[in-house]
Amino acid sequence: MSLKSCSISLRILVIVASTRPGRLAPAIAEWFTDATRSDADRADARFELADLDEIALPLLDEPEHPSGGVYRHEHTRKWSRQVAAADAFVIVTPEYNYGMPAVLKNALDFLYEEWAWKPVAFISYGNTSAGTRSVEMAKQVVCALRMMPIGATMSMRIKDSINNGRVRAGVELDNAARRVLAELTRVARAMRPLRVIDNDSETSRPVTALSIAAASEDDLGELLVLQRCCWVQEALANDTLDLAPFRETLADVRAWSDSWQVWCARRNGRVIGAVRARTNGPAWEIGRLMVAPDQAGQGLGSWLLAYAERHAPADATEFALFTGQRSQNNIRLYQRAGYTLQPTPVNDSSDISVHLTKPMHQDVERKSRDATVIAD
């Protein structure tokens, strides 16, 4: 979901939107990816399968609006990471009673920003209408999520296209699938510059060509390298190399990214900054605020801090963070943002970090939650 250079492979998420026993959607999804594999390789695109039966999301159970991006449950965070990492979607859907399956509507409703500014193709199947009414209903929803339904679609009548649970592969069907993929990849590359998830205008960002998005699996390697570069100054200021960012492996970063919300800032395709946050009791805890050394001094740190603050849940009462005891530049940045130093907790035996907090005020700018997205 972050802004990427055109040299980076496209990730196409193929969503199997049926969960009923005996469903045909998995076979159709398999046929589509097999029929277009060579074209995908030439387009530098790769497929990932999202079977909603295996993902098994419950009925929407998040207390916060999806437009806020604050998720309490791991099943939501996992779904968020998978969707955020995709550049485009292919939805394989049947038609139930003139409409789309409830499991598809539910999966769409769980998220908001992760879908935005990405193209979506539909492959529908059914009897008389070949699933076209399901697609018409789904298009209303995906457009509300700022997705772009492409013109190329496939509608398959079961009697004509399916035999013994398998697609009757042939030149005509295969060519139709290739046309869908060709248009999908073309639109996906054209829409990449639009894929930012904050509501700030371009002029409010501290530098040009800057975007910010939830970290995906593809970002973790860059994140690992970035934090090692950024913590060199911390090590020098605090006269120690015994700092977690130096010890961590890629597996460690992947592990903590599962329990924190993590955002990466990109400029012209490169990760130049990051921040993470999570709920810790009544506090919205912010950490691993980092800016690439060659990008420092431009206000990126303050911008990232404010961005993380805007994602705090409504029931948080304060912001909290830690930094090195001798990290005077960091401490000054946080104090300018309204944080105050706190006594070291009794159960904290560390002598190299300090604790800072800021009360949560009702007038703190929050990420816009559009009541038209989901109205209870």
pLDDT tens, residue by residue, 198-251 = 444 444 678 887 888 888 888 899 999 999 999 998 888 888 888 889 999 999
Residue 373: pLDDT above 70? Answer: no
With 0.75 as the threshold, say if the pTM is over it.
Answer: no
Topology of the domain comprising 10-194: Rossmann fold (3.40.50)
Condensed to tens digits (0 to 9), the pLDDT of residues 308-361 reads 998 888 888 999 999 988 888 889 889 988 999 987 654 544 557 889 999 986
Per-residue pLDDT tens digits for 182-202: 999 999 999 987 765 444 444
What gap in Å lies between CA 204 and CA 303, rounded to an integer? 9
Note the pLDDT tens digit of each residue in 323-332: 988 888 889 8
The domain made up of 202-359 has a fold known as Aminopeptidase (3.40.630)
Within 13 A of 29's CA, how many CA atoms are on the CB side? 23
Each residue's pLDDT tens digit, 41-84: 999 999 999 999 999 999 999 998 888 777 888 899 889 989 98
CB distance 28 to 124 below 8 Å: no
Q: In what helix (H) or strand (E) does residue 88 lie, and over which residues does it extend? A: strand 88-94
**Tokens in use for 213?**
């998005």
More confident of the two residues 201 and 105: 105
Residue-wise pLDDT tens digits, 117-158: 999 999 999 988 898 999 999 999 999 999 999 998 899 998
* Count of alpha carbons within 13 angstroms of residue 266, beta-carbon side: 23
Indicate the domain borders of the chain. 10-194, 202-359
Angle between helices 328-336 and 300-310 (to 10 degrees): 50
Q: Rounded distance, CA 200 to CA 221, Å?
A: 27
Q: Give the model's pLDDT for residue 204.
A: 65
pLDDT of residue 3: 33
pLDDT at 100 over 50: yes
Q: Which two tokens stand for residue 37?
A: 């594999």
One-letter identity of residue 313:
P
Characterize 160-174 residue by residue with b for buried, 16 or more Cβ atoms within 10 angstroms of its Cβ, and e for exposed: ebbeeeebeeeeebb
